[in-house]
Homo-oligomer: A and B are copies of this chain.
Amino acid sequence: MVTVSTSIDAQKIIHDAHSSNPAETGYMRGFPPPIDKRINARDGSFFKFPALRYSVVHMREFMPTVNVPRGNSRPPVEFPLAIDENIDSIKFFPTGSTTPLTIAESQNVNYTDGMLILHDGKIVYEKYFGALTPSGVHAVMSVTKSFTGVLASILVAEGKLDTAKLVREYIPQLAKSGFGDATVREVMDMTTALKYSEDYNNPNAEIWKFSDAGNAMIEHPTGTPQGFYDYLPTVVKEGEHGNVFGYRTVNADVLGWIISTVTQKSVAQLLTELIWSRLGMEQDAYYQVDALGIPFAGGGLNATLRDLARFGEMMRRGGEWQGKQIIPRKAIEDILNGGNKKAFAASIYGKTLKGWSYRNMWWITENCDGAYMARGVHGQAIYIDPAAKMVIIRLASSPHSSNLELDATSLPAYQAIADYLISK
């Protein structure tokens, strides 16, 4: 979901993780819910903190969605349990702070809804907070982009998608847009140069027009974009492609469009066929769709904590799962090799995520452990640390939309856990 809220300091101060818990706030509870507890996707109220803490596990009740079925009748593939009670008391220094925080303390600070940690394929930590339960399907926001990136990486590895080709060669409708003369590679690595602001604090930013176009819950007058693919051709170029990393959701939806054009399948259907139905998932996942039935490849996926862990562990194993190669090793290696560090350093992210790069819609830390991430607003994360044989899934509903604000109490925590697991 393209976000509506940004960090609202007043609300943040009033509501801590406990008082913002949906069990306390009572949004959408009652028959019918009282007027002051009603929220919806039409006016964006469902995405404002603290209502967001309810909505993240009830997205389909607010908008049209399409299923991503687990795909068979067999029981799910279960991880061995090796719960390590020490993890909660691991201490770390939040970036820029001299006061240490424990992992347990960090969960409230980050408004965590759920965290699952795998070490060498075993569950060492699994906790639920807020409105999330083990079967609860949670919005993963922009983590969705990394799924889109993996689908594209598979097609590239299989020779079905050519990263050197121009976008207009796949999508003629985008020929005259800012994407037209960008390569697929530039779209996948978000180095397209576009007149397009994704500053959620600016009400005139283009992200809002894109968000509106894809919002099935609002009316679209004739002559205005009816969905994502009606909007994308209106995006114009600004500067030269390939030089600077510019994190813009539209790239993920252009990539989704390319994927669907190449395969004649929606990203929902392709994710089902190539991945979701092949990992022994526990629950169906789903995508938000626009008014034209197109899944939101840039942010519309919803899934359970454990199913995201199954996906993350398959990635860590280089695409292997239960003795089968689910996705080509080459597809994952291309992500692991990282992207253009110079282009990343030149972006606003380069200031805080020093030395990182971005490849195939994944965030590459370029650290010694070779860690890489999928990141979504309000605290969603898949963090894969190959050296520590560790996969962390963190789902959250923080009042902070930008992960840059959450990184200080997240990234050092992940590293501390990795260090602990390596030393065990």
Interface residues of A (CB under 8 A from B): 28, 31-33, 38, 40, 42, 58, 60-67, 69, 73-76, 135, 137, 216-217, 219, 226-227, 229-230, 257, 260-261, 264, 266, 282-284, 289, 291-294
Contacts and interface: CB of A to CB of B under 8 A. Distances in A.
Given A69-B135, A284-B284, A293 B61 contact: yes
18 contacts: A31-B229, A31-B266, A31-B294, A32-B226, A32-B230, A32-B292, A38-B226, A40-B291, A58-B293, A60-B60, A60-B66, A61-B289, A62-B64, A64-B64, A67-B137, A73-B76, A73-B282, A217-B217
Nearest to A41: B64
Contacts of A69: 135, 283
A248 B264 CA distance: 43
Nearest to A38: B292
A284 B260 CA distance: 27
Contacts of A135: 69
B65 A293 contact: no
A28 B60 contact: no
Contacts of A65: 60-61, 65
A219 B32 CA distance: 18
A254 B291 CA distance: 31
B219 A33 contact: no
Contacts of A63: 64
B64 A61 contact: yes
Given A60-B64, A62-B64, A75-B75, 9 more contacts: A28-B292, A31-B294, A32-B294, A38-B291, A40-B291, A64-B64, A65-B65, A73-B75, A284-B284
